[in-house]
């Protein structure tokens, strides 16, 4: 039915259909037309009743089944809607709209493969339908297939060049894919068609910041903030941009504004702490991180920042205490446990270190960075190949320092067979804890099956190894920092 029909016309159609049904209650067409008019008036329950009557009288009328599904969906009755659309396809296997809506419902339920199957069928039947392109793209994003998502939105943008929606999404997906120049280009196209959008400005700011074009990034973040002055994510990122541009006072100002807007959020305090620490204001940093933990005692990044700060100040006992606190908050954090093992080794508390080496996957370093909550933020966590073999390397090191050379070699030989890369990942600690004379002693004690292990340890000590506690600066990849760090801490 024409969406521009007036209420007077709808009421007239309803009266006519009711008059017809008063004379002939079994008129399927009158029931159908009455249901359509009622749907236009958003009287979905009555519409459903008349569609059912129409279908009972004309069970092979595919359009009635299709619109009944729409009415069910409007009422939130998705199971019934799905059954109606399936019945449509039994009657008309080339009904693109039925495939389209089935795909949408399956996507909402997380049935991604079923959604794609139906949406691709809809596209094959209606190849010029930009609506199908848009939904297909969204489902591809859910599946993590960003290249396919981009292709669908590009098709939609070509078919509807004045529609900002596909361009908005192309701006975002380009950011996700690390195509920062494209992100900015698509954002400019959105604004060229007259759409001033805070989300686009925000995404352009992120892309420009990652290309170190800080002046342009700031202009876009500031405009995004003007368009959405109470948005926490925008304020956090605007503060980060100020901080990276060397404007610490402006960064603190905007983060204080974020505190006022979201007093229950620990993120602004955390960011202010990192900025203070970067500017050698350690006491002030601790004050801010403590405030973050007052707001949220389970806020893991604050514990991590305090531990890293104490380590940078050459206070391993204080750093170890912070890692202990973090582990109490998140007992399954192998990342925290790995750092505790490192510190115990450096404090020569070898038995305690060995006790912590009970296995588990770990990413051996998580640098500090300013928190951002956007889903398209880079992940600063170095994605190494660390796993429980790393703990076994350190357990062997603890055994060696405790005087159990044979046991250490046995542990390391097993690691060498399963994951020799673990020695290089832990090369920095091997370098710290083993002297050349220690390696010579290992070589003298090694049996034939352990000789390669000692050679690997010797190579790891001379290579460029990474340490688990690092400074502020870090390359970032896809995924929000806050979500990324929580994921790693909980592994």
Question: Which H, E and C letters describe 117-169, residue by residue?
Answer: HHHHHHHHHCCCCHHHHHHHHHHHHHHCCHHHHHHHHHHHHHHCCCCHHHHHH
In this structure, the number of other CB atoms found within 10 A of the CB of residue 373 comes to: 17
Give yes or no for residue 26 having a pLDDT over 70.
Answer: yes
For residue 403, with 0-12 CB atoms within 10 Å meaning exposed, 13-18 middle and 19 or more buried, which class applies?
exposed
100 close to 131: Cβ distance less than 8 angstroms: yes
377 close to 486: Cβ distance less than 8 angstroms: no
Q: What is the pLDDT of residue 387?
A: 66
Q: What is the pLDDT of residue 65?
A: 96
**Count of helix runs (H) and strand runs (E) in the chain:** 28, 2
* Weakest mean pLDDT among 142-146, 234-238, 381-385, 399-403: 381-385
250 close to 242: Cβ distance less than 8 angstroms: yes
Give yes or no for residue 156 having a pLDDT over 50.
Answer: yes
Q: What is the pLDDT of residue 450?
A: 87
- Widest CA span of the chain, in angstroms? 106
**What's the pLDDT band for 166 if we cut at 50, 70, 90?**
very high
Q: What is the pLDDT of residue 346?
A: 86
Which SS3 state, helix, strand or coil, does residue 340 take? Answer: helix
Question: Beta-strand (E) ranges in 345-442?
Answer: 378-379
Q: What is the pLDDT of residue 61?
A: 95
Give yes or no for residue 79 having a pLDDT over 90.
Answer: yes
* 315-321 contacts, C-beta under 8 A, 24 or more apart: 316/343, 316/346, 316/347, 317/347, 319/343, 319/469, 320/344, 320/347
85 close to 61: Cβ distance less than 8 angstroms: no
CA distance 342 to 428: 10
pLDDT in tens, 276-294: 999 999 999 999 999 999 9
Q: What is the pLDDT of residue 472?
A: 30
**What's the pLDDT band for 468 if we cut at 50, 70, 90?**
very low
**What's the pLDDT band for 24 if we cut at 50, 70, 90?**
very high
CA distance 411 to 453: 10
CA distance 27 to 215: 69
CA distance 156 to 134: 7
Mean local confidence (pLDDT), 379-391: 52
* Paired residues of 477 in beta bridges: 379
pLDDT in tens, 432-467: 889 999 999 999 998 888 899 999 999 998 763 333
Give yes or no for residue 136 having a pLDDT over 90.
Answer: yes
pTM: 0.71
Helix axes 112-125, 130-143, angle to 10 degrees: 160
Give yes or no for residue 97 having a pLDDT over 60.
Answer: yes
Q: Nearest CA to 303 among 357, 266, 356, 255?
A: 266
CA distance 153 to 134: 6
For 308: left if phi > 0, alpha if psi spans -120 to 50, otherwise beta; the answer is alpha
Question: Beta-strand (E) ranges in 328-454?
Answer: 378-379
Q: Between residues 485 and 179, which one has the greater pLDDT?
A: 179
Q: What is the overall mean pLDDT for the chain?
A: 86
pLDDT in tens, 283-330: 999 999 999 999 999 999 999 999 989 988 989 899 999 999 998 998
For residue 8, with 0-12 CB atoms within 10 Å meaning exposed, 13-18 middle and 19 or more buried, which class applies?
exposed
Task: Name residue, tokens 């046991």.
Answer: 407
**What's the pLDDT band for 187 if we cut at 50, 70, 90?**
very high
Mean local confidence (pLDDT), 180-208: 94
């Amino acid at each position: 039915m024409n969406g521009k029909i007036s209420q007077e016309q709808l009421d007239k159609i309803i009266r006519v259909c009711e008059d017809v049904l008063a004379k002939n209650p079994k008129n399927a067409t009158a029931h159908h037309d009455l249901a359509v008019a009622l749907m236009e008036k958003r009287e979905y329950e009555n519409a459903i009743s008349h569609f059912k009557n129409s279908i009972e009288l004309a069970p092979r009328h595919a359009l009635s089944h299709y619109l009944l599904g729409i009415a069910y969906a409007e009422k939130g009755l998705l199971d019934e809607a799905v059954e109606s659309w399936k019945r449509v396809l039994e009657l008309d296997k080339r009904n693109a709209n039925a495939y389209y809506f089935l795909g949408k419902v399956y996507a909402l339920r997380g049935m991604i493969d079923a959604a794609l199957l139906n949406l691709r069928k809809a596209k094959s039947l209606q190849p010029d339908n930009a609506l199908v392109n848009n939904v297909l793209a969204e489902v591809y994003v859910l599946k993590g297939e960003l290249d396919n998502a981009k292709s669908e939105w590009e098709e939609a943008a070509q078919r509807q060049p004045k529609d900002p929606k596909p361009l908005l999404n192309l701006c975002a997906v380009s950011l996700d894919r690390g195509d920062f120049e494209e992100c900015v280009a698509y954002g400019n196209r959105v604004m060229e068609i007259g759409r001033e959008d805070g989300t686009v400005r925000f995404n352009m700011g992120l892309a420009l910041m990652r290309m170190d074009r800080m002046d342009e990034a700031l202009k876009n973040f500031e405009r995004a903030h003007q368009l959405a002055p109470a948005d926490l994510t925008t304020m956090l990122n605007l503060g980060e941009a100020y901080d990276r541009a060397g404007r610490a006072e402006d960064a603190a100002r905007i983060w204080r504004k974020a505190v006022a807007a979201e007093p229950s959020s620990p993120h602004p305090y955390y960011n202010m702490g990192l900025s203070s620490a970067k500017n050698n204001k350690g006491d002030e940093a601790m004050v801010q991180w403590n405030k973050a933990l007052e707001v949220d005692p389970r806020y893991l990044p604050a514990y991590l920042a305090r531990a890293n700060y104490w380590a940078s100040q050459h206070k391993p006992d204080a750093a170890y205490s912070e890692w202990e606190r973090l582990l109490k908050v998140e007992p399954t954090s192998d990342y925290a446990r790995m750092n505790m093992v490192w510190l115990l080794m450096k404090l020569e508390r070898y038995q305690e270190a060995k006790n912590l080496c009970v296995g588990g996957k770990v990413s051996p370093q998580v640098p500090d960075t300013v928190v951002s909550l956007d889903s398209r933020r880079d992940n600063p966590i170095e994605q190494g190949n660390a796993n429980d073999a790393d703990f076994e390397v350190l357990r062997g090191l603890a055994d060696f320092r405790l005087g159990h050379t044979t046991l250490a070699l046995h542990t390391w030989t097993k690691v060498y067979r399963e994951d020799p890369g673990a020695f290089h990942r832990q090369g920095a600690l091997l370098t710290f804890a083993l002297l050349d004379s220690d390696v010579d002693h290992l070589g003298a004690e090694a049996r034939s099956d352990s000789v390669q292990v000692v050679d690997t340890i010797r190579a790891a000590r001379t290579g460029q190894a990474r340490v688990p506690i690092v400074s502020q600066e870090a390359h970032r990849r896809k995924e929000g920092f806050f979500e990324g760090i929580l994921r790693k801490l909980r592994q």
